[in-house]
Structure formats: structure tokens, C-alpha cells
Amino acid sequence: MSRSTPHRSAFTISEMLMGLVITALVGLAVTGMTYAFAQGWRHEEAEQSEGAVKRVGQARLAGIIRLARYIGFTGRIQTEVDGQCVSGAACLMWMADANDDGRMQVNEIVALVQDPSGEIRLYQVASDSEATLIDAFDDDMDSADDVLDFLRIGGLAYQTVCDNVADASFTWRPATADGVLGNFEYVITFRSGVTRYGTVTRRLPNTPPEDDG
């Protein structure tokens, strides 16, 4: 008497191949989707952090302008980097009369400079530098050369105000006789291509304080 055994059969080669192809396709689709998700999240995160950097940069820039006691040169300066002439925005400001003598000393002056490295930097004389001993900054700070002279002073330190900057421009329009206050305008184009345009209004003297000149 023969006993019937349950019918068992393995996959055929074509079934195996088809299964493998489908598995590979599904795997590819899932990987692609995961990659797309990851890219999306990364992009969003980068945009959010860049937004924060822009906001902080703008706030810091405005904060510095609001502290100035006198704004001198605003415009572009030419510097040489690796033998090439590079142009960037710059601004010279008198920030405080530290010794109450009514004059601008070099340690009371700062320069906002767009650096070719992609930063807007605030240069000032380091507090422990011997440059603070220079009696006075004997100039009215109204030309690009004055910025370059200031940047040549030894013992300067800087802090980064704004990062990832592709281009910038600073314009100071002093107060007018008919009651319009001084306007500091800035335009910053970030490396991502985003532009920020802002104005800071100040009531400041149009002429520099008495200098040693």
C-alpha cells in the first residue's frame, strides 16, 4: 500500500530570478526614498541654521551701528589677496570716548570689513595691544585709505559679525538740515544667494569730533 506524501516543490529558477529582481527593485525604491527624505531633512536643517545665522548676523550688525558715536567712511575698499585685487564693503566708526577727552583715539575706533573669506568682521585694537598707546587717530576717517591705514595697525583683533557672505555694501547717509536722521543702509548677499537689505537709523553728528590732526 502506497502512502501519499504531501506535494513539496522548490522555486523554479525563473521564479527565483523574478523574486530577486523584484526584491532588488523594491530595495532600490526604498533606498531612493530614504535618500530623498534624508536630503530633504538635511536641506531643511541647513536652511534653518542658515536662517538663524542670517538673523543673528543682521542683529549683531545693527547692534554695532546703534552703539557708534560717529560714522566715518562707508563704501568699498580694495585689498590684495594672493596677488589679486579684492574689493569688499567697509565702514569706520568711533564707538566710545573711553578717556572722555572728546577726541577719537585709535583704541576707540572699529572697522567693519567684508573679508574675502566670506565673513563680515569687526576689527578693533586688542585691549592689551601697545597700539592703544598711540595718542590719537589723527584723521577724519572719511576715505578708503583711512580704513586701510587702520587695518595696518599692529595688534588688531577681530570678531566675526556675519558668516557665509558673498557680497555686502554699506552706505551711511548723514542727517539732513530738514530733519531726516542719519541712515545706515546695508545689503548683504549670502553664499546661498539670499539677500538681506536693512536700515539702521541714528541721530549722530555729521562732522567728526575734534581730532589731533
> Applying CB under 8 A, does 16 fall inside the site for other proteins?
no
Compute the distance between CA of residue 92 and CA of residue 71 in angstroms, rounded to an integer. Answer: 6
Q: Closer to other proteins by CB, 116 or 198: give it.
A: 198
> Applying CB under 8 A, does 36 fall inside the site for other proteins?
yes
Of the candidate residues 118, 155, 198, 209, the single one contacting other proteins (CB under 8 A): 198
Strand order in the sheet with 195-202: 165-173, 182-190, 195-202
> Applying CB under 8 A, does 117 fall inside the site for other proteins?
no
Cell of 76: 568699498
Backbone angles phi, psi at 119, to 5 degrees: -120, 150
> Applying CB under 8 A, does 189 fall inside the site for other proteins?
yes
DSSP secondary structure string, 116-171?
TTTEEEEEEE-TT-GGGGS----S---SHHHHHHHHTSTTEEEEEEE-SEEEEEEE
Of the candidate residues 40, 63, 154, 213, the single one contacting other proteins (CB under 8 A): 40
> Applying CB under 8 A, does 76 fall inside the site for other proteins?
no
Q: How many residues in the shown chain lie near other proteins by CB under 8 A?
A: 35
Which stretch in 16-24, 81-89, 132-140, 165-173 sits in contact with other proteins by CB under 8 A?
Answer: 165-173
Residue 66, H or E segment: helix 13-67
> Applying CB under 8 A, does 18 fall inside the site for other proteins?
no
> Applying CB under 8 A, does 66 fall inside the site for other proteins?
no
Compute the distance between CA of residue 44 and CA of residue 1 in angstroms, rounded to an integer. Answer: 74
- Residue 155 near residue 125 (C-beta atoms within 8 A): yes
Residue 121 CB coordination number (10 Å): 22
> Applying CB under 8 A, does 55 fall inside the site for other proteins?
yes
> Applying CB under 8 A, does 169 fall inside the site for other proteins?
yes
Which residue, among 157, 156, 182, 155, has the nearest Cα to 171 in the 3D structure?
Answer: 182
> Applying CB under 8 A, does 110 fall inside the site for other proteins?
no
Which stretch in 115-123, 126-134, 147-155, 196-204 sits in contact with other proteins by CB under 8 A?
Answer: 196-204
Binding residues (CB under 8 A) for other proteins: these are: 7, 33, 36-37, 40-41, 43-44, 47-48, 51, 54-55, 58, 169, 171, 173, 178-183, 185, 187, 189, 193-201
